[in-house]
Chains A and B, each alone.
Chain A
Amino acid sequence: MTTTSPQLEAPRSRSRSRTSFEMYSWIFMRMSGLLLVVLVLGHLLIMNVLDGGVQRVNWGFVAGRWASPFWRTWDLMQLWLAELHGTNGLRTVINDYAVRDSTRFWLKMLLYTSAFLVLVLGTLVIFTFDPNMK
Chain B
Amino acid sequence: MSKAPAGTLYRGREGMWSWVAHRVTGVLVFFFLFAHVLDTALVRVSPDTYDKVISTYKTPIVNLLEFGLIAAVLYHALNGLRIMAIDFWEKGPRYQKQMTYAVLTLWFVLMAGAAYPVLATSFRKAFGS
Instruction: State the interface size on chain A (CB cutoff 8 A).
Output: 40
Question: DSSP class of B's interface residues: helix, strand, loop or mixed?
Answer: helix
Report if A73 contacts B (CB, 8 A): no
A69 to chain B, nearest CB (A): 17
Mask: chain B, 30-61; 1 = CB below 8 Å from A; 0 = not: 10011001101101101110110010011000
Report if A107 contacts B (CB, 8 A): no
A18 to chain B, nearest CB (A): 24
Report if A59 contacts B (CB, 8 A): yes
Report if A49 contacts B (CB, 8 A): yes
A110 to chain B, nearest CB (A): 12
Report yes or no: B63 in contact with A54, Cβ–Cβ below 8 A.
yes
The number of inter-chain residue pairs (CB within 8 angstroms) is 99
Question: DSSP class of A's interface residues: helix, strand, loop or mixed?
Answer: helix
Cα separation A59 to B37 with both chains bound (whole Å): 15
Report yes or no: B27 in contact with A133, Cβ–Cβ below 8 A.
no
Known A55-B121, A59-B47: A125·B40 in contact at CB below 8 Å: yes
Report if A11 contacts B (CB, 8 A): no
Residues on A with beta carbons closer than 8 Å to the beta carbon of B37 = 79, 83, 118, 121-122, 125
B positions within 8 Å CB-CB of A: 23, 26-27, 29-30, 33-34, 37-38, 40-41, 43-44, 46-48, 50-51, 54, 57-58, 63, 66, 70, 73-74, 77, 80-81, 83-84, 87-88, 114, 117-118, 121
Q: Can you add 9 more A-B contacts, CB < 8 Å, to A49-B117, A52-B121, A93-B26?
A: A30-B84, A37-B80, A44-B73, A49-B70, A49-B114, A53-B118, A114-B34, A121-B41, A128-B44
16 contacts between A and B (CB under 8 A): A40-B77, A49-B70, A54-B57, A54-B58, A54-B63, A57-B57, A59-B48, A60-B47, A62-B43, A62-B50, A86-B26, A89-B23, A90-B30, A128-B44, A129-B43, A134-B47
